[in-house]
């Protein structure tokens, strides 16, 4: 399976009816999206950033799926409950 190259698109939107505008740049490889906001950046710089992302390994490959996330949350809850038991907290005595 070939890795899709990173591309970018710029977006501008009006801020209410103030006459001001806010912009962002979205970078995507078809699977992941990175979004930045702030000052305008030259198109050449944006393309260089895409080229840099293409050279990087798949940084986003380690994903936390629902089961992993739930497991991590349960481990945190167990630690919290163990602390409460050890310190006699939360009892109805």
What's the confidence (pLDDT) of residue 18?
Answer: 83
Q: What would the pLDDT profile of 36-83 be if each residue is shown by its tens digit?
A: 876 677 888 888 988 888 887 665 555 556 777 788 889 999 998 998
Can you read off the two tokens belonging to residue 75? 């481990």
Helices (H), 1-93: 43-55, 66-86
For residue 78, the model assigns a pLDDT of 93
pLDDT at 92: 60
- In angstroms, the first-to-last Cα distance of the chain is 62
| pLDDT at residue number 64 | 56
Element (H, E) at 38: none
The structure tokens listed for 56 are 């990087």
Give me the mean pLDDT over the 27-37 stretch: 82
pTM over 0.75: no
Task: Identify the DSSP state of 90.
Answer: S
Distance from C-alpha of 69 to C-alpha of 73, rounded to nearest angstrom:
6
Distance of alpha carbon 7 from alpha carbon 33, whole angstroms: 10
């Amino acid at each position: 399976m070939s890795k899709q190259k990173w591309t970018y698109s710029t977006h501008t939107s009006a801020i209410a009816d103030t006459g001001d505008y806010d912009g962002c740049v979205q970078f995507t490889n078809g699977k992941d999206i990175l979004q930045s906001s702030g000052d305008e950046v030259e198109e050449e710089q944006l393309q260089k950033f895409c080229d840099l992302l293409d050279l990087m390994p798949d940084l986003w490959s380690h994903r936390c799926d629902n089961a992993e996330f739930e497991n991590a949350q349960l481990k945190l809850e167990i630690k919290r409950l163990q602390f409460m038991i050890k310190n006699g907290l939360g009892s109805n005595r």
